[in-house]
Amino acid sequence: MTTKYTLPPEWAPQRAVQLTWPHPASDWAPRLAAVLPVFARIAREISFREEVLMACHDTTSVKVCKKYLQHAGANLARCHLHTVPSNDSWTRDHGPLILQNPVGQHKLMDFAFNAWGLKFRADLDNQITRHLYAQGAYGNAALEISGMVLEGGSIEVDGAGTLLTTSACLLSPNRNPQWSAAQIEDALRTQLGVERILWLHSGHLEGDDTDAHIDTLARFCNPHTIAYQSCDDPDDRHFAPLQQMAAELSAFRNRNGEHYHLIPLPWAQAQFDEEDNRLPLTYANFLILNAAVLLPTYDDPADHIAQERLQCIFPDREVIPIPCSELARQHGSLHCVTMQLPR
């Protein structure tokens, strides 16, 4: 039997979801009191269905986290808090990608994280996986440290050998400037066990720091279905690029040569922060759990439409809305602050 390691899709059975708790020395400081309940709410819903692995900046953060989790009604027996220094809380991008093989073995891929192309500090975040590994947080899985700069939010896999990504992110000059697109494809195939790479060349969100992460734009829901962020307002600056992205998606084929079933997600009305910066609101940033899907919502009429559409895609999972406008104020959303760990 082959022992090739592959990256499982998000809907595969999970053991846990990893998060990094915000703290006063991070960029969350000005609105910390508003955002901590959001993290606690996310952890609560996860804890009802699987384990929560929480990286806390210091012993004070551990105490604060426990208090918020208890107040939120989380299953504390399933919440495992570790003391690990951090710069920020975008676990999707600094967390590990865990591969598995047909005989049940797991391997942690710890890719380099440089804060989306050297935009911010990331010296502590880039060490989180190794610190958690040393503390035994990942069990018996092997650890492989890669020199490639790669964020979890920049890739989507379908579990059938296909990886979806964006050229704006993976080909950006401040990530792996020494590599061509062909070399990046070779690295993805070798290190993640995928066979096909699908590149999106259009689509972005204003206020997004990631250079168009795929998890803000288009998501595999099963090997035949992609949900994507649409825009139906021709007066919005996002209209043309997202229309072009939809056209690119419609041209893609799965490994059987068939068109994907494409599900457009609705467009939320523009929201802005105190400095009049537009917030990157996206419904594509949902998190698939065991028996549930957590949907970011933004106090917008489109919230209910997004919930209905995702419920149709995931009839066997409960779609749970989580208010995430506070996360958007720091330029991300729900999927961005989480990383699932396979069972």
Cβ burial, residue 321 (10 Å; 0-12/13-18/19+): middle
Kindly state whether residue 40 falls inside one of the protein's structural domains: yes
What integer is the mean pLDDT of 117-122? 96
pLDDT in tens, 221-268: 999 999 999 999 999 999 999 999 999 999 999 999 999 999 999 999
Q: Looking at the predicted structure, is the pLDDT value of residue 1 above 70?
A: no
Question: Looking at residue 285, which CATH number applies to its domain?
Answer: 3.75.10.10
Kindly state whether residue 240 falls inside one of the protein's structural domains: yes
Kindly state whether residue 137 falls inside one of the protein's structural domains: yes
Domain region containing 126: 14-342
What integer is the mean pLDDT of 193-218? 97
Could you give the number of structural domains in the chain?
1
- Cβ atoms of 86 and 121 within 8 Å: the answer is no
**Measured distance CA(150)–CA(120) in Å, rounded:** 15
Kindly state whether residue 234 falls inside one of the protein's structural domains: yes
Q: What are phi and psi of 224, to 5 degrees?
A: -120, 0
CA distances from 185 to 141, 247, 261, 318 (A): 25, 23, 25, 35
Sequence-ordered list of residues with C-beta below 8 angstroms from that of 212, at least 6 positions apart, any chain = 166, 168, 169, 200, 203, 204, 205
Query: Among all chains, which residue has been given the structure tokens 């490994």?
Result: 255
Residue 3 pLDDT: 77
**Measured distance CA(224)–CA(256) in Å, rounded:** 10
Kindly state whether residue 3 falls inside one of the protein's structural domains: no
pLDDT in tens, 3-32: 799 999 999 999 999 999 999 999 999 999
**Measured distance CA(152)–CA(154) in Å, rounded:** 5
Kindly state whether residue 9 falls inside one of the protein's structural domains: no
**Measured distance CA(126)–CA(128) in Å, rounded:** 6
Kindly state whether residue 291 falls inside one of the protein's structural domains: yes
Where in the sequence numbering do the catalytic residues fall? 336
pLDDT in tens, 289-298: 999 999 999 9
Q: Is 321 strand, coil or helix?
A: strand
Kindly state whether residue 142 falls inside one of the protein's structural domains: yes
